[in-house]
Structure 1
Amino acid sequence: MTPVPAEPVPASRMPRIRGNDHSVLTPPVLGAWTPRLSVSVIIPAYRSQRTLDLTLAALAAQSYPAHLLEAIVVDDGGDPPLRLPEIVPERTRLVRSDPGGWGAAWACQTAVRHAGGDVVHRLDSDVVPYRDHVEALMRWHHLADYLVVTGALRFTEEELPSPADVHAAVAGDQAAKLFDWSASRPHAWIEDQVAKTRDLCDAPIEAFKVHVGASASMPAWLYHAAGGMDPDLPLGEDTEFGYRLAQQGAVFVRDAAAQAWHVGAHTMRHRGEEAKRHNWPLLAERVPALRWLRKHPRRQWLVPCVEVVVEAGGVPYEPVRATVDAFLASTLPDLVVTLVGPWSALPTGRRSPLDDPWLDLRLSRYSYEHEPRVRLAESVPPDASPAMFRLTCPPGWTPSPDTVRRLVTEANANAWGVACLALAETGDTVITARLERTAAVTRARHLQADAEDLDDVIDEVFGVHWLDGPSYGFTWQDDTPGLPSR
């Protein structure tokens, strides 16, 4: 078959994937296409010389064009220092981890600062990829520029071969014979998730959970847009980063053709319960999508599930207070309120307190400047990342205690991108509250063409739905018991 060059995908023809249904994409046959994107394979390594030698030997025999592949190994501070072995890809560098931190996430951040590829591919230093592993992942990135692609690992704890043997086996497309297949194990949990969700196509909200750092690739722009890996997480950093990638609109693909061996002892197999005990408190704080980790009825978390936005500028104090207080009384306390107003414009100095033209805005500030769940801001960014949702509500309209919980539950069950809640009609205007899924907004903004309505794109990639606000517990403040307007 004659290789077909892969042309850049114009923004106007970028595939618009709904949810996580990547089945609309057809990757080219391995070996029958011509790549154009460059890839930086970043390898965090700590006291792993023996397995690192095998990883680099396998990378040196990849089917992906050598001039498009660079390998960046980051020595995370072990003693003795790591060295580059004899068998490495043509473009390989060894750098020391930046001072001031440690761990895989920190090392990856160091590597990315040295990386020049269109795609960033993290590979652990105990992974031995098959010959077409990188090619299998990279073919997807030529189809759409907002994919996160992972491969399929098998775990083995057999005696390690030599780097020369690994290179020869991978170059000869015989990597499967390096270890005893029958004595190895797949990543059972990921295989189970993939099987239950039609290769993740039916996982519009939680596909990020299969993002594992052992081998995962993404466009460089997406890595940076998500903020990079969190060096405060010594374990579980791949799951947390997967969540933030999802909030930037990523679609997750797992390619079973991207095979690799994971050599040596596996932490989750031998110390799985201990690892969960360590990771779950960290992930509970940072990943609101893992609702089962947030069962406490009242406490707050580092990353909220919902950001509520209420406009305070040019609005009487009483309706602002009614709306904010009602949200703070939600049975889903996993939220913050952003109160928007021209706070920096408030005059200082002597004034007549009761005749102050800025009195209403001052009263709103007085009420919430010391409330930890309320933030005062002059504007809000275009999305609520890293929170899962943003709920914008006009002042004076108040939710019932269960409104936010019900909306979040139904939005996740139905994978809504936006829910517009009609509150009232005044002439030709419909007063609305609006629940936005962060992942839907960011993906739509990335795909939006000039002069195209953003909601039209959101409707394509997740869906825009209209709901009856009063049916979901919204009422005008005068009709809300316990929240008088004066």
Structure 2
Amino acid sequence: MTRIPRIRRQDFGVLTPPPLGGWSPTLTVTVVIPAHDRQQTLDLTLAALSAQSYPAELMDVVVVDDGSAVPLRLPELVPDGTKLISSPPGGWGRAWALQAGLEAATGEVVLVLDADMVPHRRHVEAQLRWHHLAPYVVTLGWIDFTVADRLPSPERVRAAVRDGEEDGLFPLSPHRHDWAEKIIQDHDGLRTAPSSLATRIHVGATAAYPAALLRSIGGLDTSLVLAEDTELGYRLTQAGVVFVPDPQARAWHLGLPTAMRDMAALKRYNDPYVADRVPYRRYLRTDAGRQWLVPYVDAVVPAGAYEDVRATVDGLLAGSLPDVRVTVEGPWASLGAGRRSPLRDPDLDLRLVHATFEHDARVRLADPAAPPPAGPERVVAPFRLTVPPGWMPRADTVERLVGRLEEDDGGVLCLALDETEGGVLVARLERASALSRAALVAEPGEPLDDVVDELFGVEWLDGAEWGFTRRPAGYPPRRRPVPEAERLAAQREKEIARLRERAAALRAELAEVRRQAGKSERDAARWREKAEAWRREAVRLARTQNRTVITRAVRRMRDLASRTASPPAPRGASRPGRRQEDGPGTS
């Protein structure tokens, strides 16, 4: 048994396609062409297919007439093994016609080609070479657009394709699938694109699918009239495929598609349908509390004790990520309606769980042994979270875990909750596409987690650090539990009130400081006035004292001057101002 190649995430670089024209194909392919009133361009499409390099004995063509006003016919130039069928009654549209073509296809690969496409000579060969390397690739052709006023004849087209002169058939339009080509260019030819982004480039005008894989996921969603390729791309991703755009698988697109002619109207129509079916388009799911056909996370809780199951389910539904559907797995069919002792019923816990969630639209009661559901319910969510009953996640736990898995396009997160005699109790978040890919390539008996680790990665985390705790002892609570948001709001209000009181006290303190500062300024002004008065008094006194001293000095100077100017008196003469005393000999 040949080992299937293992492609890690989107990195199809591990595959080495053979050069065009230098290999020998073995796979059969059916080209399915849905058509509605496209006879003229259909003739050119079939003419180009009649000159393909892929072996004619390995290729057949199914044209599906989707209720054309004038029934389509097969022209003269067609590949061998071409047949025309009509869409069955009961539906209409491209998806309905493609599903009819898929059911009629006999090839191992189904290549879908629109009726306004003119493929180059190597178009089929370029895509099919990848399918010979791995059975889970979906190849995409490379489209050039033309808005030619006049179309060549089928004979001219066949001759140009046969001779490799396709480039000269039509004038090249400047219009391109720029957004898709940018994604491809920015991610190394799509090899490094994350799963949620790679699926976006699935444009169904020219693409080839493994027929068995396409049938295993239910084919096309025939309820859709438009956006069927977007929805199919999402389901293919969850099935584990790898998208491979091949620039050598070239084809002309005759005219511009609706997306280029009226993008606003197309988005307005498609958005509600895409939002309901493609969880990756997070920007379309911004309404809190809304429920969708395909959830973002499918949380699984095994049936157990009533209180444990209820606590876990309640915690999951109360999270910050509203786009969660909870599935409680148990043997619900075993709950009979016969007479029993209500309080001593051996299935009492299972019956209470059933009664609690039977009518909750967010909760699904499923039997793990039952076959998978059919129809839209078979579409899987991109993430599956399994939580043992009795453990409750924090409000932001699920949202943070999904973010962690998306950071590196990881495969599985295992969260250790507790260690018991039976081993480690684990909560587990899985990427659906990683598990599907591992199942496609795993060898018999090989542990699936080992394959997932090789393809996408498996990481172990501490459950407590990510917000998982045991349920409270008394559950369910008799009072309505305060939601985390309300509790935090009340806590903030209390803190705000405390800060307001503190602010008021600081304002009062500031007012007192300002009052004291004003009083100090008035006191300072008063002391400045007194100081100025004292200074003036001091100057006045100083001046007065100085005048007195000067007056005395002048008098002394004058006195000295007068004494100096008068002659000295004779001896014995009395000095002026002195009384002569009587002496001896005086008569």
Give TM class, smaller chain. over 0.9
The answer on whether the counterparts of 1:150 and 1:254 sit within 8 Å (CA) in structure 2 is yes
- How do 1:378-417 and structure 2 match up within 5 A? 378-379=367-368, 385-417=379-411
Instruction: Tell whether 2:237 aligns with 1:246.
Output: yes
- How do 1:12-411 and structure 2 match up within 5 A? 12-158=2-148, 159-181=150-172, 183-205=173-195, 206-312=197-303, 315-379=304-368, 385-411=379-405
- For residues 69 and 341 of structure 1, what CA distance do their matches in structure 2 show? 48
The answer on whether the counterparts of 2:294 and 2:379 sit within 8 Å (CA) in structure 1 is no
Matched with 1:5 is none
Displacement of 1:171 in angstroms is 0.5
The one-letter amino acid of 2:364's match is R
The one-letter amino acid of 1:69's match is M
Displacement of 1:481 in angstroms is 9.8
Displacement of 1:199 in angstroms is 0.8
Gap change, CA 1:382 and 1:476, over 3 Å in 2: farther
Displacement of 1:461 in angstroms is 1.1
User: Which structure has more helix as a fraction of its residues?
Assistant: 2
- How do 1:424-439 and structure 2 match up within 5 A? 424-427=418-421, 429-439=423-433
User: Which stretches in structure 2 are left out of the alignment for 5+ residues?
Assistant: 482-587
- For residues 85 and 271 of structure 2, what CA distance do their matches in structure 1 show? 32
The one-letter amino acid of 1:96's match is S
How high is the sequence identity, in percent, across the aligned residues?
53
The one-letter amino acid of 1:107's match is A
- For residues 255 and 152 of structure 2, what CA distance do their matches in structure 1 show? 12
Q: Compute the RMSD of aligned alpha carbons.
A: 1.8
Matched with 2:486 is none
- For residues 50 and 128 of structure 1, what CA distance do their matches in structure 2 show? 12
- For residues 28 and 250 of structure 2, what CA distance do their matches in structure 1 show? 20
Displacement of 1:203 in angstroms is 1.2
Task: Please list the CA deviations of residues 288-307 of structure 1 after superposition, one character each: whole Å capped at 9, or x if unmatched.
Answer: 11112111121110001111
- For residues 192 and 381 of structure 2, what CA distance do their matches in structure 1 show? 22
- For residues 82 and 483 of structure 1, what CA distance do their matches in structure 2 show? 68
The one-letter amino acid of 2:472's match is D
Gap change, CA 1:232 and 1:347, over 3 Å in 2: closer
Displacement of 1:265 in angstroms is 3.2
TM-score (norm 1): 0.94
Displacement of 1:184 in angstroms is 4.2
The one-letter amino acid of 2:309's match is V
- For residues 386 and 203 of structure 1, what CA distance do their matches in structure 2 show? 21
Task: Please list the CA deviations of residues 341-364 of structure 1 after superposition, one character each: whole Å capped at 9, or x if unmatched.
Answer: 111112322222122221111110
458, 461, 468: which one pairs with 1:464? Answer: 458
The one-letter amino acid of 1:471's match is E
Displacement of 1:484 in angstroms is 7.9
- For residues 473 and 227 of structure 1, what CA distance do their matches in structure 2 show? 38
Gap change, CA 1:397 and 1:484, over 3 Å in 2: farther
Q: Greater CA deviation, 93-102 or 375-384?
A: 375-384
Secondary structure at the aligned position of 1:160 is classed as coil
- For residues 209 and 231 of structure 1, what CA distance do their matches in structure 2 show? 20
Q: Runs (4+) of structure 1 moved beyond 3 Å?
A: 380-385, 479-486
- For residues 332 and 140 of structure 1, what CA distance do their matches in structure 2 show? 39
- For residues 194 and 327 of structure 1, what CA distance do their matches in structure 2 show? 37
User: Which stretches in structure 1 are left out of the alignment for 5+ residues?
Assistant: 1-9
- For residues 155 and 267 of structure 1, what CA distance do their matches in structure 2 show? 13
- For residues 368 and 273 of structure 2, what CA distance do their matches in structure 1 show? 30
Gap change, CA 1:294 and 1:122, over 3 Å in 2: same
Greater relative contact order (CA < 8 Å, ≥ 6 in sequence): 1
Secondary structure at the aligned position of 2:188 is classed as coil
Gap change, CA 1:480 and 1:57, over 3 Å in 2: farther
The answer on whether the counterparts of 1:418 and 1:464 sit within 8 Å (CA) in structure 2 is yes
Gap change, CA 1:470 and 1:77, over 3 Å in 2: same
The one-letter amino acid of 2:230's match is T
The one-letter amino acid of 1:358's match is D
- For residues 435 and 479 of structure 1, what CA distance do their matches in structure 2 show? 26
- For residues 149 and 346 of structure 1, what CA distance do their matches in structure 2 show? 48
User: Which structure has more strand as a fraction of its residues?
Assistant: 1
The one-letter amino acid of 2:403's match is T
